[in-house]
Structure 1
Amino acid sequence: MKIKRIRTIGLVAMAALVLAACGNLKNSSFGSNDSSNTATSTKTTTTTGSTGSEFYQGVIKNGTYRTSKSRGVNVSQNDNVMNLKSFETGLLDVSKKVFSTEKYVFQEGQYVDSSTVENWLGRVSKSNPTGLNPKNNGKKGATTRNPIYLQQLEEQDYMIQNGSKMSLGGVTVGLGMNSVDYYQKVQYGATYETNISTTELTAQGKKMANTVLQRLRQKSALKSVPIVLALYKQSSNDSLVGGNMIAYAVSKNGSTSVSDWKSLDWNNYVFPATSESKNSGANNNDESDFSSFKSHVENFFPNLSGVTANAHYKDKALSKLSVNITTKFYSETEIISFTQYLATAAKRYLPSGVPVEITVKSANGDIQSFLARTAKGSSYYTHIFSDQGNN
C-alpha cells in the first residue's frame, strides 16, 4: 500500500477561507510585538484576526502561519478530491460543537507528524507495528480480503489566548473511513472494489479512534486536554460530492478511551440528482427551487455547459448550497451581464436562510465570477474576475 502527501494550493486556499473568510483583520494581533507562550516554546505568536463568530482565528508564529506537520498525508488510492475538502470543513464543524470560535484559536496540527501518520495509515505488520489498518491476509476476493478501512487522518489544535500567552486548550482528530476500498490483484492490473457498510466502517473507526487516543495521551502536552475524535465516511471515487461526518466523541480529564459516541446526520447531495447520486434524503422543496433557478438561467443564457449544485444537509435541513456553473462565454460583457442576472435569479429562486455560493467557470476551469450570500443576508455579493485587473 502506498501513502502519498497531497499539498495543493487548493487545500491551502480553502483553509485560509475557512479561517478568515473574506473580511478584514481589524481584531487581529497581526504585526504586534507581544511575546506569547505556546505549550512548547516562547516566541512571538499572533493571530490572523476575527471576521465573525462563524470562523476561527488562526495562529501566526514569528510572522508565519503555522502549517500542519502532517497536512495532506493519506492512502494513495483516494482519487476524489471532494473528500479531502469536505473532510477538513466537516472536522471544523464538529470542533465548533466543543471548542467555541469565540474562545479558541485554530492551529494546524503540531503533535502528530507526517511519518507517524504514514505509519498509522499503513497495514499492521512486523515492519509497521503501529499500523491501524488490518494486516494483509493474502486473499484477493472482494469479500474475503482484509480491506483498507482508514484512508486519512488529520489533527487540529485549538488554542486559548490569555493576554500575551497562548496555550493548548484541546485537540480534534478526524479519521476518514473508506466506504469503498479499491485494490489490484496484480501490480498495474485491473482495479477491483470492496464495499464497506456504514455499520462496519463505523465499528472499525471507533476501535481505531480509541487506539489513537491512547497514543495521543502518551504525549506530555496531551495528557489532560480535551480530545475530540470524529469519524468521516468517505464517498466513492466516482461520487460528485464528498463524504460526510457520521459520529464524534469527546475525551475529557485525560481518559484513554471513549464510548459515548454521538451520531451525526450530515449528508451531501448533488442537484439535479443523477443515476449515481440519489437524493432520497434531500428536501424536495430545495431541489425544486434549484430546478427553477437552473431552468430560468439556462433559458436566459443558452451558452452554458452545465448548472449543478452541492447541497449540504445537517439533521435533514439544508445548511449550505454551493452552485457551480460552466459557461461558453468569451466576452467580458457577457460575463458581466450573466453575473448581474444570476444575482437577481438567485435571490428570487434559491432557498433563503442558508449560505449560498455561486461559482461561474469557463470550460477550461478559469473562474469568471463569484457570488455569495450569508444565511442572514438577502442580497448577493458579486465579483467579476477580469484579465484587465480593473474590477
Structure 2
Amino acid sequence: MKKLNGCLMVILLFLVACAPNNNEDEVVQEEDSGEETSIVPSAKLEEENYRMILPYKTSAARGVINRQVANRVDIDEFEQGLRRHSKEVYDPDRYFFQEGQYITESMTYEWIDDLNPKVEEGAGEEFHRDNPRYLSHILEQNYLVQGEDNAVNLAGISIGLAMKSVYRFQEESGGPDYYEDISEEEMMKKADEIAQDVLERIRQIEGLENVPVMFAIYREAEQNSPVPGSFVATTNVSGDSSSIGSWQDLNEEYILFPSSEGREKYYEDQELVTSFGNEIAEFFPNYVGIVGEGFYVNEELQKLTIEIPLDFYGKAEVIGFSQYIYGLVQEMFPDYYDLEIKVESSTKMESLIYRESGEEEPTVHIFH
C-alpha cells in the first residue's frame, strides 16, 4: 500500500507540473534597444530560479568556455555556481538573468592572454614551472531589473574567474606533458591581482562604468577529475568603485563516493552510499556498481547525486528497478539534503528519482 500511495503521489506531482499556467507573460522593452520589445515569461521552473527575457540572447563570448576550461564537469559547475552565488546579491524575485552581453569573444581571449604570464619562445621546464598560466576563463553574467514604462535595464553583473589548480604544459609542441601544482594560497594571490585588472577594464566599457560587480573565484579540478572544483571566494564592488576590496572565503567542495577522500572526510555518507549499492547488488545480478557525488557547504551535505549504470532488457525491468530504488530512498536516505538518482543504460538515462530537501516523497520519472 505504501508503494501504491507513492506511485499515486508521483502521478499527481506530474499532473500539477504539467498544468497550464494562466498568468500572462509580461511584455517589456530593453533599455537602449530602440523599438525592440522582449517578453518575460510569467512562470519559473523553480521558485528560486531567475526569470529570463525572451527572445533569449546568447553570450557575446559564446563557446569560449569550452575551449578554455578542460573538464566538462568544471564547465557546468562554473556556469551554474556563478548563478547560484549571484542569488546572494541579485534577488531572483526582483532581477532577471541574461548571459553576458559586454565582454566579447575577442576581448575574452585578449584579456586572458594579457593577464597570464607571457610564454617566451623556447621556454624550458623551469620557466613554465615558475610562470604558470593561472587564469583559464572569464565568465560574465548580467542581471536586469524592470523600471518605469516596463523598461528593463542592467542593474548588476557577475564575473567568474576560473583559476587552475594544476598547470599543464609542454616544452615543445607535441612533446610530453608536464604538470605543476598551484596552491590555493598562491592562486588566490594571483586571482586578487587579476580581478583588479578585470575590474579596471570593465569600467572602460560603455554601459559598465557605474554598474555593481560581483566577483567569484573558481578553483578548477584536475583535468580528468570525475567531480568538479569549487568556488573559493567572492567579493562585491559597488557601482561607484574601481577597487577590489576584501574577499569572503567560501567552504565548498564536491566529493566522489566511493573514494579514499570520501572515506576520510565524510565516512558516514560514504558508508550510506556503499550500503545502498550493496542493497542493489543483492537483488540485481547484472549490477556493476554506483558512482556518487556529494556537494558540501561548510562540511554540510547539500546535494547527493548517484548514478547507477545497468543493462536492461525491457521497459518492465526499468519500471521494476525504479520502483525498488524508490522504496530504498524512503528507507535509507535522510531528507535534509537534495537527492538525485540517475538510472542509466549504455545508451541513455532510463529513469530519474529525485527528492528535494525537506520533502517526504521522492518523485520518479521514467524516460520513454
> TM-score normalised to the size of structure 1?
0.83
Task: String of CA shifts for 1:294-347, please: whole Å, max 9, x gaps.
Answer: 221222223223311110011111111111111122221111111111111112
Give how far 1:188 is off.
1.5
Letter in 2 for 1:306: G
Give 1:128's aligned residue. Answer: none
Task: String of CA shifts for 1:159-190, please: whole Å, max 9, x gaps.
Answer: 11246221111000000000011111221121
Give 2:21's aligned residue. Answer: 26
> Do 1:37 and 1:43's aligned partners in 2 also have CA atoms closer than 8 Å?
yes
Give, in whole Å, the separation in 2 of the partners of 1:118 and 1:252. 26
Residue 112 of structure 1 is aligned with which of 90, 103, 106? 103
Give how far 1:206 is off.
1.2
Give how far 1:142 is off.
7.6
Q: 1:280 to 1:271 in 2, by over 3 A?
A: closer
Give 2:169's aligned residue. Answer: 183
Letter in 1 for 2:174: Y
Residue 157 of structure 1 is aligned with which of 139, 142, 147? 142
Give matches, 1:267-346, under 5 Å: 267-274=253-260, 278-279=261-262, 282-346=265-329
Tell me, yes or no, if structure 1 residue 354 matches structure 2 residue 337: yes
Give, in whole Å, the separation in 2 of the partners of 1:98 and 1:77. 27
Give 2:93's aligned residue. Answer: 102
Residue 50 of structure 2 is aligned with which of 44, 47, 56? 56
Matched residue pairs, number? Answer: 348
SS in 2 for 1:304: coil
> Do 2:310 and 2:343's aligned partners in 1 also have CA atoms closer than 8 Å?
yes
Give how far 1:143 is off.
6.5
Give how far 1:377 is off.
1.2
SS in 1 for 2:110: helix
Give matches, 1:70-149, under 5 Å: 70-74=61-65, 76=67, 78-122=69-113, 131-137=114-120, 138-141=123-126, 144-149=129-134
> Do 1:87 and 1:176's aligned partners in 2 also have CA atoms closer than 8 Å?
yes
Q: 1:94 to 1:158 in 2, by over 3 A?
A: same
Letter in 2 for 1:308: V
Provide the identity percentage. 30
Letter in 2 for 1:291: T
Larger radius of gyration: 2
Give 1:7's aligned residue. Answer: none
Give how far 1:47 is off.
2.2
Give 1:263's aligned residue. Answer: 249
Q: 1:329 to 1:198 in 2, by over 3 A?
A: same
SS in 1 for 2:222: coil
Give, in whole Å, the separation in 2 of the partners of 1:154 and 1:42. 29
Give how far 1:35 is off.
4.2
Letter in 1 for 2:276: F
> TM-score normalised to the size of structure 2?
0.88
Letter in 2 for 1:350: F
Give how far 1:144 is off.
3.7
Structure 2: segments with no counterpart, 5+ residues: 1-16
Give how far 1:58 is off.
1.2
> Do 2:124 and 2:171's aligned partners in 1 also have CA atoms closer than 8 Å?
no
- Point out the more displaced range, 35-44 or 187-196: 35-44
Structure 1: segments with no counterpart, 5+ residues: 1-21, 123-130, 387-391
Q: 1:235 to 1:352 in 2, by over 3 A?
A: same
Greater share of residues in helix? 2
Tell me, yes or no, if structure 1 residue 225 matches structure 2 residue 219: no
Give 2:3's aligned residue. Answer: none
